[in-house]
Amino acid sequence: MSANALLRGETIGDDIGRLMRRIGAGARAAAAQLATVPTEAKNAALHQAARNIRGRAGDILAANGRDVTAGEEKGLGKAMLDRLALDDARIEAMAGGLEDIAALADPVGAVIAEWDRPNGLHISRVRTPLGVIGVIYESRPNVTADAGALCLKAGNAAILRGGSESFHSSGVIMECLAAGLIAADLPAAAIQLVPTTDRAAVGEMLRLSEFIDVIVPRGGKSLIERITAESRVPLFQHLEGICHTYIDAAADPEMARRVAFNAKMRRTGICGATETLLIDRAIAPAVLSPIVDDLFSAGCEVRGDDATRAIDGRVLAATDEDWDTEYLDAILSVKIVDGVEAAIDHIARHSSRHTEAIITDDPAAADLFVNRIDSAILLVNASTQYADGGEFGMGAEIGISTGKLHARGPVGVEQLTSFKYVVRGSGQCRP
Amino acid sequence: MSANALLRGETIGDDIGRLMRRIGAGARAAAAQLATVPTEAKNAALHQAARNIRGRAGDILAANGRDVTAGEEKGLGKAMLDRLALDDARIEAMAGGLEDIAALADPVGAVIAEWDRPNGLHISRVRTPLGVIGVIYESRPNVTADAGALCLKAGNAAILRGGSESFHSSGVIMECLAAGLIAADLPAAAIQLVPTTDRAAVGEMLRLSEFIDVIVPRGGKSLIERITAESRVPLFQHLEGICHTYIDAAADPEMARRVAFNAKMRRTGICGATETLLIDRAIAPAVLSPIVDDLFSAGCEVRGDDATRAIDGRVLAATDEDWDTEYLDAILSVKIVDGVEAAIDHIARHSSRHTEAIITDDPAAADLFVNRIDSAILLVNASTQYADGGEFGMGAEIGISTGKLHARGPVGVEQLTSFKYVVRGSGQCRP
């Protein structure tokens, strides 16, 4: 009988509250052990898990087939089904992702800063694990591997609550992780997948502040809103990405055209995709139509304000709602603004404080834009699609935080740590 | 009519919920302005506020006299009245504290890290203000000045909710701060004192997650518990300080004697004061009685376990409750343990994860102690009374966090900031 089947068996005749408290207590105990395990043990578990995933690719595909069939029967949308479906390439990417995380430097024990005091005390600030991290996510089964591995690498225990759509796929992936933990002599409760699709488990998880230090919610707006409203556990906020690209009067028109197209169309379904294009009135007649040409050729719908439509009549009319919409689709809203200050004002009113870009050759406009806007990521002359932990060089990420406490922007392995102060003296007494 | 009197006037006929939302909205608007004001303006406001506090020392003392008289009539305890009472020296210390904060480096805009990516993108991580910080505190009126100034220096708007005991004192101090803000052309809502003693205002504040980014609670255990249970706004947890000093078998007995005495008795009422002394069984016969001699001479009560009392019969019997008690008084509990592992186990069960110290000449014991214990501050051969932002070289502190998210240990001006990523490119599009 597999570990996961055993876990699932536990739910029979058990109530969800008791189940979740047992999971929480197990995670807390595992976290205490994980805080001081050697890097080699964590990496060994990750490498073994990667081997297990490759070795059990057939089982994973079979389980995923059941999930996809159930999803089709439930009438899940095409985008959701695409996120859910695994194939050989995605399974290999998942295994490779675990190896990439194993290859990252271990953040635990790293000295972030150190200094001496006049009284001879030597103070150092040392990275420690956070403790227990809860992850609540929707359809993508690969999050089970990515999130579990990132938490483990940072010395944290993980409680993973996947979407019901990916229940079978995630179960087999969890078995691969669990066997990796056991092979490396790490506590089995270091990574736990909530073994029920009962939605009450999420509510229970949000109340487990005794056992969970932080919850990372990943998913659609309604999931995030529910979690934010209910949670008694601190969250790394992951709101939607209403990202803007602003083309300044001093932009290079060719660069603006290329970057705007990439920012919208490279992948429309990611949170760093640009949803609204702002164009300075002075340059709009020169840049708008070529950009619209490119977007139309790629099948993108374009909605604009009156000034946009006056320049290019092919553009549909935008409504007020458009400025506050994360399309996650091949739709772009376009607005003509009077200079960088007006762009900043629009962004202050409509942005979700995720990522914004300015295209300009004017350093003063660039500085104003990056200094004045209160978003996690601000780019100058680059595509908003770079809003990604991997692209930042952080290795994998567990998500992108739009909150300002603890983690902001891509949440990688370092953002999943805390720190402590170690003070070494020679008998100092405070006067 | 003074600014503060005007504010107080507003509450007439107003309901607390509307009042608090108006304060919150004002703070949010002020924070947007403060995020980019020059360092000089913030420092000018602080210097002017310091001058105002010196210039109005008579008014502050008169208001404080009213608070102290009311406190005596209400039957406040001696320790509470001592924290409440101001004199010329304390007023000068408050003014000097503002100047010290002005002298600190401005954290906003500092580049914490920067690196280049192979694709030519230059990424920097830049400090930003957090936004709006709420501070809920008890009797000490000087917190009004300290907390307001620290928040301002880090570019944050502050909403201060002082204890009802210090209402009049804090009101005049607030007037001094407000006049400083006005003189430096900063928004008046940058620092606001909740102008009512109605306890409902605290409940409203804890629900203002739309306007307040983080709340720093400072006060006794019951205040902290209420805030933790109710708050919808993230908190910098400030639990009690059940701090331990462990004397290892390999300790220098003379150092152990001096440091243990200082850790307990320098000031018994601060959160970094040692509450429990753990002594290795091997060294206890040599060190216990001299330490007890010193403590008795200073009027400290000593409570110990059976093993302690078998060595020194003068020690009173400790109960189980003692190991979980923050005395904040001249009382020390003492326990004999079998080596550093047993000390670590005791601390894991009873510590509030604030500060612990080991006295030892054995580097391996010291390393085990600092690596294995999950507390904010771990000291080797130094007094736990060094658990203080000033002693760490951070300048002033707004408190000491026992939480692990964002801020841990002393919360100084840097801990009151967030950061953003600024990415500069030359037209990069993500492949």
Amino acid at B411: V
**Contact with chain A for residue B245, Cβ under 8 A:** no
SS3 A184: coil
- According to DSSP, the β-strands at A417-428 and B111-116 are unpaired
Q: Does A298 touch chain B (CB under 8 A)?
A: no
Interval B329-339 mean pLDDT: 97
**What b/e readout covers A229-253, taking b as 16+ CB neighbours within 10 angstroms?**
eebebbbbbbbbbbbbbbbbbbbbe
- Dihedral, CA atoms, A239, A204, A140, A323, nearest 10 degrees? -20
Residues 108-137 of B with CB under 8 A from A: 109, 115, 117, 121, 123, 128, 130-131
Pairwise CA distance, residues B333 & B244, whole Å: 10
With tokens 């190991």, the residue in question is B323
Q: Are residues A428 and B383, on separate chains, in Cβ contact within 8 Å?
A: yes
Task: Identify all chain A residues contacting B128, using CB atoms and an 8 Å cutoff.
Answer: 374, 404
Q: Hey, are the CB atoms on A427 and B262 less than 8 Å from each other? A: no
Residue of B35, B131, B404 lying closest to A130 (CB–CB) = B404
Cβ <8 Å between A423 and B386: yes
- Other CB atoms closer than 10 Å to residue A331's CB: what's the count? 17
Q: Which chain A residue has the Cα nearest residue B345?
A: A32
Q: Are B46 and B180 in contact (CB under 8 A)?
A: yes
Q: Check A430 against B376: CB less than 8 A apart.
A: no
- What pLDDT score does A12 carry? 45
Site of tokens 């003509």 = A336
**Which residue in A142, A108, A148, A143 sits closest to A128, CA to CA?**
A108
Contact assessment for residue B189 and residue B156, using Cβ atoms and an 8 Å cutoff: no
Q: Which two tokens stand for residue A194?
A: 């909530």
Place of tokens 């009382």: B331
CB A373 within 8 A of CB A246: no
**Candidates A378, A383, A425; nearest CB to B430:** A383
Give contacts of B252 with chain A, Cβ < 8 Å.
427
If one counts every other C-beta atom within 10 angstroms of the C-beta of residue A424, the result is 20
Phi, then psi, of A315 in degrees rounded to 5: -75, 135
Neighbours of B299 (CB within 10 A): 8
CB contacts, 8 Å: A128 with chain B: 374, 404
Q: How far apart are the CA of B262 and the nearest CA of chain A, in angstroms?
A: 6
Is A426 at the interface with chain B, CB within 8 A? yes
For B406-431, how does the pLDDT look when each residue is reduced to its tens digit (9 = 90+)?
A: 999 999 999 999 999 999 999 999 99
B259: distance to nearest CA of chain A, Å?
6
Nearest neighbour of B386 by CB, restricted to A405, A419, A428: A428
Chain A residues within 8 A of B371 when measuring between CB atoms: 36, 109
Cα separations in angstroms, B118 against A256, A258, A413: 22, 20, 21
Nearest Cα of chain A lies from the Cα of B349 at a distance, in angstroms, of 12
**In a mutagenesis test of the A interface, which of B227, B423, B424, B426 is the best target, namely the one with the most A β-carbons within 10 Å?**
B423
Scanning the structure block, which residue is given the tokens 């300790």?
B251
SS3 content of chain A, % helix, strand, coil (to 5): 45, 20, 35
SS3 B86: coil
Answer yes or no: do B379 and A423 touch at CB < 8 A: yes
Please report, in tens digits, the pLDDT of each residue of chain A (431 residues total).
334 444 444 444 469 999 999 999 999 999 999 999 999 999 999 999 999 999 999 999 999 999 999 999 999 988 889 889 999 999 999 999 999 999 999 999 999 999 999 999 999 999 999 999 999 998 789 999 999 999 999 999 999 999 999 999 999 999 999 999 999 999 999 999 999 999 899 999 999 999 999 999 988 888 888 898 899 999 998 778 999 999 999 999 999 999 999 999 999 988 999 999 999 999 999 999 999 999 999 999 999 999 999 999 999 999 999 999 999 999 999 999 999 999 999 999 999 999 999 999 999 999 999 999 999 999 999 999 999 999 999 888 898 999 999 999 999 999 999 999 999 999 999 99
pLDDT of residue B8 exceeding 70, the answer is no
* A179 Cβ neighbours under 8 A, 6+ residues apart: A3, A48, A49, A52
Cβ B63 vs Cβ B171: under 8 Å: yes
How confident is the model over A308-324, as pLDDT tens digits?
A: 999 999 999 999 999 99
Measure CA of the first residue to CA of the last residue in chain B; give whole Å. Answer: 64
Please, are residues B231 and B198 in contact by the beta-carbon 8 Å criterion? no
**From the CA of B128, how many Å to the nearest CA of chain A?**
8
A425 and B379 in contact by Cβ < 8 A?
A: yes
Nearest-by-CA chain B residue for A401 = B420
pLDDT-derived band at B10, boundaries 50, 70, 90? very low
What is the least distance, in Å, from the CA of B323 to any CA of chain A? 21
- pLDDT value, residue B396: 83
Q: Do residues B236 and B407 make contact, with C-beta atoms less than 8 angstroms apart? A: yes
Q: Which residue of B has its CA nearest to A37?
A: B372
| Interface touch B378/A35, C-beta < 8 Å | no
Cα distance between residue B141 and residue B146, in whole Å: 9
Cα dist from A427 to A119, B369, B381, B382, B410, whole Å: 11, 17, 5, 5, 21
Sign of the alpha-carbon dihedral angle for A60, A66, A69, A70: negative
For the segment A214-263, what is each residue's pLDDT rounded down to a tens digit?
999 988 888 888 898 899 999 998 778 999 999 999 999 999 999 999 99
Query: Which residues from A are below 8 Å from B427, CB to CB?
Result: 252, 255, 258-259, 359, 381-382
- Contact criterion met (CB < 8 Å) for A423 and B380: yes
Query: Are A372 and B36 an interchain contact pair (Cβ–Cβ within 8 Å)?
Result: yes
CA dist A50 and A96 (Å) reads 7
Q: Is the Cβ of B78 closer than 8 Å to some Cβ of chain A? A: no
Residues of chain B in contact with residue A259, where contact means CB-CB under 8 angstroms, are 427-429
Nearest CA in chain B to A421: B377
Q: Name the residue among B291, B277, B290 with its Cα closest to residue B357.
A: B277
Q: Which residues of A touch B423 (CB under 8 A)?
A: 377-380, 382, 386
Give me the helix-helix angle, A253-265 and A284-297, nearest 10°. Answer: 40
Domain topology for A243-391: Aldehyde Dehydrogenase; Chain A, domain 2 (3.40.309)
**Residue of B259, B372, B430 lying closest to A429 (CB–CB):** B259
Terminal alpha carbon distance of chain A: 64
Asked if the Cβ–Cβ distance from B424 to A366 is below 8 Å, we say yes
B-proximal residues of A, 305-324, CB under 8 Å: none
- What are the structure tokens assigned to B67, written together? 């608070």
How big is the CA angle at B236 (ends B230 and B241), to the nearest 5 degrees?
A: 100
Which residue blocks in B75-199 are alpha helix, DSSP H? 78-84, 88-103, 142-153, 167-183
pLDDT in tens, B239-253: 789 999 999 999 999
pLDDT at B5 over 70: no
Cβ-Cβ contacts under 8 Å, A111 against chain B: none
In angstroms, the separation between the Cα of residue B194 and the nearest Cα of chain A is 24
Q: How many CB pairs under 8 A join A and B?
A: 188
In angstroms, rounded to a whole number, what is the distance separating the alpha carbons of residues A313 and A311? 6
Superfamily of domain B3-236+411-422: Aldehyde Dehydrogenase; Chain A, domain 1 (3.40.605.10)
Q: Which of residues 145-204 of B touch A (CB under 8 A)?
A: none
d(CA A342, CA A349): 11
Return the pLDDT at A78.
85
Q: How far is A417 from chain B (nearest CA, A)?
A: 9
Residue B131 with chain A: CB contacts under 8 Å = 374, 404
The tokens 């999050």 sit on which residue? A143
Q: Quick check: A258 and B427 in contact, CB under 8 A?
A: yes
- How is chain A split into domains, by residue range? 3-236+411-422, 243-391
CB contact under 8 A, A421 and B409: yes
Q: Which of A271, A25, A51 is nearest to A145 (CA)?
A: A51
Nearest to A36 among B252, B371, B425 (CB): B371
Residue of A nearest to B374 (CA): A420
B423: nearest CB among A371, A382, A408: A382
Comparing C-alpha atoms, which of B403, B351, B376 is closest to residue B237? B403
ipTM score assigned to the predicted complex: 0.92
B376, closest residue in chain A (CA to CA): A420
**Does any CB of chain A come closer than 8 Å to the CB of residue B356?**
no
Q: How many CB atoms lie within 10 A of CB A348?
A: 14
Cβ atoms of B132 and B155 closer than 8 Å: no
Q: Who among A128, A255, A408 is closest to B419 (CB)?
A: A408
DSSP-derived letter for residue B235 is: B
Q: Which contiguous run of DSSP H or E holds residue B334?
A: strand B331-337
Q: SS3 of B288, please?
A: helix
Predicted confidence at residue B13, as pLDDT, reads: 44
Confidence of residue B1 (pLDDT cuts 50, 70, 90): very low
The predicted structure's pLDDT at residue A337: 98
Residues contacting residue B51 through CB under 8 Å, at least 6 positions apart: B95
Enter the DSSP assignment of B190: G
B54–A contact, CB cutoff 8 A: no
Of A420, A426, A428, the CB nearest to B378: A420
CB contact under 8 A, A421 and B377: yes
| pLDDT mean over B41-60 | 98
A346 interface with B at CB cutoff 8 Å? no
